[in-house]
Amino acid sequence: MALDKQAIYTAQMPANVCLIGHLFASSSLAFSLPKLHTTVSLTTHRGTKDTWKITNTERLSYQSIDNYLKHLQRVKNHLGYNGGFFVQSNNSFPIGLGLSSSSSSYSALTACAVKAIQASGQPIKQMMTHDEISLLSAEGKHSSKHSFYSPWSIAENNSMAGASFAEFDQLTHVALKACDQQKRIGMEQILSLIEKNPRVEEYANQVRKRVFLAHDCLENKNWKGLFDCVWEDFIELHQLFHTCKPSFSFHSPATKALLQQVKHWWDIYDDGPLLTMGMGYVVHLLFRPDQQKMKRKMLDSMQYHTCIEGTESNRELMGAIA
């Protein structure tokens, strides 16, 4: 039975930058970006159908909206709820930056739906814990479970946990969009091609090893070792893209120039930011608190289209559910 009185519920969750294991749920390492977040609003109505409400932000494809609403139905089925919602979702950052924007979207939707349903007064199958909500969110988008933990989130052997590593919790993030070139391949197609690649099993094995090594580097404040883990994963991931049939790439002359500059900096000074690229023409850099002068000097020397900062100078912990 649907609700008789209209009510509005909201939730806000952060994006994250995945440093190791971009495509794998069982093993991965990510860092939360609280300045970049998604806010979802759900408004109850008398019907049972969920309806997408267009906002002033970038419009999603019909397929993306359909997948999003299917996940909302998944959450409702999980809790035994049959009411309907008007759905709105807004990012605080542009789509297409190579960030886990869909991760923050799915985590915010899941958190908001659970909140609304548990507050509805209707009989539901269960009250859910924080960890259970994160796992339910992952059924819609694997990487969205990272948004429930901060500042670090580590998936190892199918278990998920948040983590803290002293001064390494205070990293500053910049996303450098190297050019205005748009992605010509969607995530579903990427996953389909990757699954058919005979090298994917070996990459998955290496991901598991690198997450374990990176965790050890974080615990022992081994920045160079952490950089090597993240760099190696980035290189092998994009080699996987090149060996798919058909192959695809997110490298351009502009992204290659940025990568070469950062690697050259490391070669000269034996120090620098963490570096990775996800599914887009964007280079992500993470700097330690004592590298802020380096950050300014490095950014001043680089050529890029857009710079987006994912962290505040005094970063807060995970975006709270409103």
Burial class (CB in 10 A: 0-12, 13-18, 19+), 89: buried
The verdict on 130 and 208 lying in the same domain is: no
* pLDDT mean across residues, the chain: 88
More confident residue, 315 or 304: 304
The verdict on 34 and 91 lying in the same domain is: yes
Residue 2 is assigned to a structural domain of this protein: no
DSSP state string for 152-217: EEEEETTEEEEE--GGGGG-EEEEEE--SPPP-S-HHHHHHHHHH-TTHHHHHHHHHHHHHHHHHH
Residue 74 φ/ψ region, left for φ over 0, alpha for ψ in the -120 to 50 degree band, beta for the rest: alpha
State residue 105's pLDDT score. Answer: 93
Confidence of residue 13 (pLDDT cuts 50, 70, 90): very high
Mean pLDDT of all residues in 61-76: 92
State residue 279 phi and psi, 5-degree precision. Answer: -95, 65
The verdict on 137 and 173 lying in the same domain is: no
State residue 317's pLDDT score. Answer: 34
State residue 18's pLDDT score. Answer: 92
Containing domain of residue 132, as a range?
8-163
State residue 101's pLDDT score. Answer: 56
Mean pLDDT of all residues in 125-137: 92
At residue 4, does pLDDT exceed 90? no
Residue in this structure with the two tokens 């983590």, named with its chain if needed: 163
Question: Token digits for 93?
Answer: 């950052």
Mean pLDDT of all residues in 52-68: 78
Q: What is the tens place of the pLDDT at every residue in 201-227?
A: 999 999 999 999 999 999 999 999 999
The verdict on 206 and 159 lying in the same domain is: no
DSSP state string for 126-157: ----HHHHHHHHHTT-GGGGGGGS-SEEEEET
At residue 180, does pLDDT exceed 60? yes
Instruction: Specify the DSSP element, H or E, that contains 40.
Output: strand 28-45
Most confident of 97-101, 154-158, 297-301: 297-301
Q: What is the tens place of the pLDDT at every residue in 86-106?
A: 999 998 887 655 555 578 999
Q: What is the tens place of the pLDDT at every residue in 270-292?
A: 999 999 987 778 899 999 999 99
Please say whether the beta carbons of 285 and 31 come within 8 A.
no
The verdict on 150 and 176 lying in the same domain is: no
More confident residue, 83 or 179: 83
Distance CA 139, CA 103 (A): 11
More confident residue, 165 or 4: 165
At residue 137, does pLDDT exceed 80? yes
The verdict on 74 and 46 lying in the same domain is: yes
Residue 272 is assigned to a structural domain of this protein: yes
Instruction: Please state, in angstroms and as integers, the Cα–Cα distance from residue 27 to each residue in 144, 158, 160, 299, following that order.
Output: 14, 7, 9, 32
